[in-house]
């Protein structure tokens, strides 16, 4: 459907050639274009004695944007005139705060950055025009592994050896500063307004101090604790990761294994069949992580599931047990997988198996079957779950319930430690995994190995697999404020509405948030540890003291000052007993504290923010971390509304990648590539118009063809603006504007349409429906203006005297069109709007003060009377447009039939059976005001209405009929117009040749040529009625 709509719009563009091109043709031939064929190459333009009497458009606003040069000039003009700053200083403006989510300062911007920041700029500029005080503070996320890795990658091996903590931090800071500077210039080139001279950086001392305060408040309220538990661990980064730092790429395959553990002892409460055969029973388990087998400390069962004692029959000799314990619902599948028969000897509930012990096949220890939870199902595996408390979230909880240690025999590099026995030193994601499988095979415990495709967590930075590993970390306990967070979510407006369900589900299922990282470049977790006991020292006194130091010296102070200097006076005497912690905070805690570091610290910003706007992936990222920190400390969400957008794909719907060669660089779209014929420069406004054209609520497409199509729409809007500006060159609205009650019916209808369109555009911006704005603006400029009103208006604009009443009424409407277009496009096409504003032929002021910018004009406010056209009149005009369309079709067919040439060579005879419409058309015809008559609406030299019964008797060269929904039956006749062609206006008239002084012109043009000064002032405007 969308494709057909777009093709239709492009067809309209093609049909309604550029208005300015028509005007230029008119200048050369003294008359407006009327559809005649273009001259052949080399053919001389017709010379006319009246060419200087035609009112041609005059404006310095060019059709060619020359955006590469002009847009930077306009941005420089904004800086010089301080337009953004003056709006902030204007009294009486109510603040509107769109809080910027900070991008990482680790590389050039991509098209996703452009989509995000341009959407924000639409909103900020619109709110500025609506009279709000909009201070947009751009931000950057400056800490964390992405930047640390960039620094390390830039150094050779020798340089890395010489690095210490402070040297690495300084290099990381320098890298972040350079990246921020580069990205800042790119964002500014997009036309983004903001506080670029004072952005917020998460590495600024004031920001870091605010973050320390958030951490401290959460700790003092009991929401942060230190614990030893499994976390997502990245061996490639050597740090713990939060869920938001993981990705799950397609195509991951694990080596899954089925194993049995030999039963060693059975409690007397076990089923009789199990007691009788206990020495020959194997506990069947399944795992996709064979490397966790050395850490196995239990097997979990679901107390309410049915399990079976199954006898192994007809199997290969490799199955070294007579019986297997398996979930009843999985026994057939397991038998098929193993290539044997499993005969069910007995069935019982999982609770009956609790307390059965088994022998570990590789380690010298025994473990027991324990009751797990609802996570144990019959969807896959065996229904008995291998439990390693040090390597899984559910496993850990089961371990706590059964007093099992969180055994984790794996180090930070992902290698087995000595606790893994003979496997020490082997990497768990490589040769260690293989070694475990081989060892199980050797002892006869391996039942089956197979590849298993599933989603597996990868480090989003290194793109390498992670593991679950128990370590000592700092955690934020979401459980303590989960209900408050869920209530806060319900109080936020989510756009689109599905966002609420998404973040609610993530918050409901959120486990404790691991906020500590084993990295160098970040905000330190301000904790001291006792040298002997490793007990942490942290209190309000220590937190306040460290916060004060960091606010003055930055977080480097934690790493270069001594423990004694970092401790408050009351504790300095104990400095020799403590060491500083080396962990830094999760970068999501950094950015998630921005409400405290920016909104609560900066003048002119509101808290909670009116709006957060980021990609849909931030439901588990910045939106959630901001929500959790704010609710935990302030009891409310940091935002009133949250808007999300999708990702950018190429025009075939594929993800962009350098290897596919389908990456769209926003800078190249704006400035062009090396070969500017193949990669032409389109400018920032075309990129912005593309952003407005897409439905950002889902994934959006971009590519060469899409940008080219967008540029055509851009040119159409610019061409319309140029036509309007050019035809207002002699118009001063303070003196020349015609009162509404003196306007012809056509002009009143156009003002009615403008009042409706203005409301539609306002609704589109208020609801952040920018693609709707795009469709409305395209329809207005192409269908309602270029192909209708402006096409009709050219006659009176070019032919009437400069001060003539027909021209002034049209200019009154054009003035309204200009005021609407300028304001309407300004949020999306600010460079074009400002360029047009600077080319306005009359001075724009407010309360006697000359305005410097379109953004000082405020939002458009149409006059109430414009909307007062009654329903009957509106319905009738809608029908007239349909009739006009049918007349145009008929003339095209007549032209193809060679009955006529240009439309001004024709006269139209029209019959219809709609009595109300016929009456209204007759009223227009009888107006005789030089505007509303049908000949002007149809752009012909003559038009007649005849009764339906008299139509067939008309002697016409071409006749046709049509049945039009809402109109009824139409009969249309086309013939050559009476009289001769006027040399000045190209209309045909029987009076051409009757004026001795000017024999080649018509009765309309003669007084304008013979007595131009008289005609400009002699006819009162009311005579048009």
Confidence of residue 1019 (pLDDT cuts 50, 70, 90): very low
Q: Measured between alpha carbons, how far is 606 from 599 in angstroms, rounded to an integer?
A: 6
Q: Which tokens in the block code for residue 250? A: 């397609």
Q: Looking at residue 18, what is its pLDDT?
A: 37
Three-state secondary structure call for residue 309: strand
Answer for the pair 203, 171: CB distance below 8 angstroms, yes or no: no
pLDDT (tens digit, 9 = 90+) per residue, 728-783?
999 999 999 999 999 999 999 999 999 999 999 999 999 999 999 999 999 999 99
Q: What is the mean pLDDT of residues 652-670?
A: 91
Q: What is the pLDDT of residue 1012?
A: 63
For residues 648 and 112, is the Cβ–Cβ distance under 8 A? Answer: yes
Of 13, 61, 56, which is closest to residue 721 (Cα–Cα)?
61
Quick: pLDDT tens for 871-887: 889 999 999 999 999 99
Q: Which one has a higher pLDDT value, 628 or 676?
A: 628
pLDDT of 561 strictly over 70: yes
* pLDDT per position as a tens digit, 839-854: 999 988 887 789 999 9
Q: Determine what percent of the chain is predicted with pLDDT higher than 90.
A: 74
Task: Return the minimum-mean-pLDDT range out of 154-163, 724-733, 845-854, 920-929.
Answer: 154-163
| DSSP codes joined into one string, 604-619 | T--SSBSEEEEEGGGG
Q: What is the mean pLDDT of the chain?
A: 90
Alpha helices, H only, 682-766: 684-693, 704-726, 733-736, 745-766
Q: CA nearest 612: which of 636, 647, 643, 655?
A: 643
The percent of residues above 70 in pLDDT, for the chain, comes to: 94
Give me the mean pLDDT over the 583-606 stretch: 94
CA distance 601 to 206: 9
516-554 pLDDT, tens per residue?
998 889 999 999 999 999 999 999 999 999 999 999 999
pLDDT score recorded for residue 632: 96
* Cα angle 116-122-124, degrees, rounded to a multiple of 5: 100
Residue 479 and residue 512 in contact, taking contact as beta carbons nearer than 8 Å: yes
Separation between Cα atoms, residue 370 and residue 398, nearest integer Å: 8
> What pLDDT does residue 305 have?
92
How far, in Å, CA of 628 to CA of 502, rounded?
A: 15
Least confident of 12-21, 474-483, 543-552, 656-665: 12-21
Peptide bond into 496 cis (omega under 30): yes
**Exposed, middle or buried by CB within 10 Å (0-12, 13-18, 19+), for 893?**
middle
Measured in degrees and rounded to the nearest 5, phi and psi for residue 846 equal -140, 120
- For 1014, list phi and psi in degrees, rounded to 5: -70, -45
Q: Do residues 980 and 992 lie in contact, with contact meaning Cβ atoms separated by under 8 Å?
A: yes
- On the question of pLDDT at 465 being above 50, the answer is yes
Summarised one tens digit per residue, pLDDT across range 366-394 is: 999 999 988 898 888 999 999 999 998 88
Please tell me the total number of residues recorded for the chain in this structure. 1025
User: Residues 922, 928, 930, 934: what is their CA dihedral angle, to the nearest 10 degrees?
Assistant: 20
> What per-residue confidence (pLDDT) applies to 4?
32
Residue 943, Cβ density class (10 Å: 0-12 exposed, 13-18 middle, ≥19 buried): buried
Cβ atoms of 907 and 955 within 8 Å: the answer is no
| pLDDT at 2 (0 to 100) | 37
| Residue of higher predicted confidence among 1024 and 781 | 781
Please report which confidence band the pLDDT of residue 681 belongs to, taking 50, 70 and 90 as the band edges. very high
The answer to whether the CB of 269 falls within 8 A of the CB of 278 is no
Residue 489 scores a pLDDT above 50: yes
Rounded to the nearest 10 degrees, what angle do helices 19-29 and 790-799 cross at? 30
Q: At what angle do helices 805-825 and 770-778 cross, to 10 degrees?
A: 160
pLDDT band (50, 70, 90) for residue 160: confident
Residues 97-119: what's their mean pLDDT?
Answer: 94
The C-alpha atoms of residue 663 and residue 109 are separated, in whole angstroms, by 12
For the cut 60, the answer to whether the pLDDT of residue 952 exceeds it is yes
User: CB under 8 Å to 10, separation ≥6 — which residues?
Assistant: 709, 712
Which residues, 6+ apart, have CB-to-CB distance to 879 below 8 Å? 914, 917, 966, 967
What DSSP assignment string belongs to 832-900? HHHHHHHT-SS--EETTEEP-SGGGS-S----GGGGG--HHHHHHHHHHHHHHHHHHHHHHHHHHTTS-
């Amino acid at each position: 459907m969308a494709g057909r709509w777009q093709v239709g719009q492009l067809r309209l563009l093609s049909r309604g050639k550029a208005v300015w091109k028509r005007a230029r043709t008119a200048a050369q031939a003294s008359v407006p274009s009327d559809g005649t064929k273009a001259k052949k190459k080399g053919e001389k333009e017709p010379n006319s004695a009246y060419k200087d009497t035609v009112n041609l458009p005059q404006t310095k606003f060019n059709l060619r944007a020359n955006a590469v040069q002009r847009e930077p000039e306009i941005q420089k003009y904004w800086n010089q005139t301080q337009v953004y700053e003056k709006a902030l200083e204007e009294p009486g403006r109510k603040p509107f705060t769109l809080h910027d989510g900070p991008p990482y300062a680790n590389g050039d911007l991509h098209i996703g950055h452009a989509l995000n920041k341009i959407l924000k700029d639409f909103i900020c500029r619109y709110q500025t025009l609506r009279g709000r005080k909009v201070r947009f503070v751009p931000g950057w996320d400056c800490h964390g592994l992405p930047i640390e890795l960039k620094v390390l990658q830039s150094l050779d091996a020798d340089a890395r050896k010489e690095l210490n903590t402070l040297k690495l931090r300084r290099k990381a800071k320098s890298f972040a500063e350079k990246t921020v500077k580069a990205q800042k210039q790119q964002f500014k080139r997009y036309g983004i307004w903001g506080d670029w001279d004072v952005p917020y950086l998460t590495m600024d001392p004031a920001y870091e101090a605010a973050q320390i305060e958030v951490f401290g408040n959460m700790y003092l309220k009991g929401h942060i604790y230190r614990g030893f538990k499994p976390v997502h661990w990245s061996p490639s980064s050597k740090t713990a990761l939060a869920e938001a730092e993981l990705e799950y790429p397609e195509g991951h395959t694990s080596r899954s294994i089925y194993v049995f553990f030999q039963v060693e002892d059975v409690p007397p409460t076990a089923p009789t069949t199990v007691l009788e055969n206990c020495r020959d029973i194997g506990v069947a388990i399944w795992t996709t992580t064979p490397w966790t087998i050395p850490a196995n400390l239990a097997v979990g069962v679901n107390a309410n599931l049915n399990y079976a004692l199954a006898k192994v029959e007809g199997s290969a000799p490799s199955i070294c047990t007579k019986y297997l314990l398996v979930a009843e619902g999985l026994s057939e599948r397991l038998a098929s997988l193993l290539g044997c028969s499993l005969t069910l000897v007995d069935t019982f509930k999982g609770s009956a198996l609790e307390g059965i012990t088994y022998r570990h096949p590789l380690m010298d220890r025994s473990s027991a079957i324990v009751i797990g939870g609802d996570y144990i199902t019959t969807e896959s595996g065996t229904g008995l779950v291998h439990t390693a408390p040090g390597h899984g979230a559910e496993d850990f909880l089961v371990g706590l319930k059964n007093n099992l240690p969180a055994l984790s025999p794996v180090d930070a590099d992902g290698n087995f430690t000595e606790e893994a026995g003979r496997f020490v030193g082997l990497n768990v994601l490589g040769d260690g995994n293989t070694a475990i499988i081989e060892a199980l095979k050797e002892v006869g415990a391996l039942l089956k190995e197979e590849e298993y495709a599933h989603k597996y967590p990868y480090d989003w930075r290194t793109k390498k697999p992670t593991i679950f590993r128990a370590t000592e970390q700092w955690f934020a306990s979401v459980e303590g404020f989960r209900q408050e967070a869920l209530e806060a979510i319900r109080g936020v407006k989510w756009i689109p509405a599905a966002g609420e369900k998404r973040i609610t589900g993530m918050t409901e299922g959120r486990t404790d948030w691991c906020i500590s990282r084993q990295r160098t470049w970040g905000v330190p977790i301000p904790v001291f540890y006792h040298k002997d006991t490793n007990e942490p020292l942290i209190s309000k006194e220590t937190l306040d003291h460290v916060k004060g130091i960091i606010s003055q010296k930055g977080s480097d102070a934690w790493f270069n000052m001594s423990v004694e200097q970092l401790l408050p006076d009351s504790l300095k005497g104990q400095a020799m007993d403590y060491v500083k912690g080396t962990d830094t905070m999760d970068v999501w805690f950094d950015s998630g504290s921005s409400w405290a570091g920016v909104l609560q610290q900066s003048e002119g910003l509101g808290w909670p923010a009116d709006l957060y706007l980021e990609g849909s992936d931030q439901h588990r990222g910045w939106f959630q971390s901001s929500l959790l920190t704010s609710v935990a400390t302030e009891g409310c969400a940091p935002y009133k509304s949250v808007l999300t957008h999708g990702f950018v794909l190429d025009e075939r719907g594929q993800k962009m990648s350098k290897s596919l060669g389908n990456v769209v660089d926003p800078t190249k779209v704006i400035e062009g590539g090396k070969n500017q014929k193949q990669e032409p420069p389109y400018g920032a406004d075309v990129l912005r118009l593309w952003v407005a054209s897409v439905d950002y609520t889902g994934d959006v497409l971009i590519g060469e063809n899409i940008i080219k199509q967008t540029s055509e729409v851009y040119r159409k809007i610019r061409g319309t603006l140029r036509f309007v500006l050019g035809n207002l060159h002699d118009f001063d609205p303070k003196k020349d504007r015609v009162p509404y009650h003196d306007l012809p019916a056509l002009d009143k209808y156009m003002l009615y349409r403008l009042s409706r369109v203005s409301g539609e555009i306002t609704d589109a911006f208020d609801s952040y429906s920018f693609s709707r704005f795009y469709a409305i603006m395209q329809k207005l400029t192409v269908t309602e203006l270029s192909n209708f009103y402006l096409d009709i208006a050219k006659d009176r604009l070019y032919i009437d005297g400069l001060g003539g009443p027909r021209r002034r009424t049209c200019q009154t409407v054009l003035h309204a069109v200009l005021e609407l277009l300028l304001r309407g496009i300004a949020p999306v096409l600010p460079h074009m709007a400002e360029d047009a504003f600077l080319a306005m032929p009359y001075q724009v002021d407010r309360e006697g003060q000359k305005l410097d910018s379109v953004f000082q004009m405020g939002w458009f406010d149409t006059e109430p009377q414009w909307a007062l056209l009654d329903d009957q009149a509106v319905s009738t005009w809608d029908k007239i447009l349909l009739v006009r369309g049918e007349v145009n079709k008929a003339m095209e067919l007549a032209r193809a039939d060679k009955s006529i040439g240009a439309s001004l060579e024709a006269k139209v005879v029209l019959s219809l059976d709609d009595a109300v419409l016929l009456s209204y058309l007759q009223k227009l015809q009888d107006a005789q005001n030089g505007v509303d008559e049908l000949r002007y609406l149809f752009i012909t030299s003559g038009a007649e209405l005849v009764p339906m019964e008299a139509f067939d008797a008309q002697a016409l060269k071409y006749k046709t009929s049509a049945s039009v929904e809402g109109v009824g039956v139409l009969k249309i006749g086309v013939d050559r117009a009476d009289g001769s062609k006027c040399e000045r206006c190209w209309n045909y008239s029987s009076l051409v040749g009757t004026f001795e002084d000017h024999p080649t012109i018509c009765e309309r043009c003669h007084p304008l040529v013979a007595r131009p000064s008289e005609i400009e002032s002699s006819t009162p405007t009311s005579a048009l009625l």
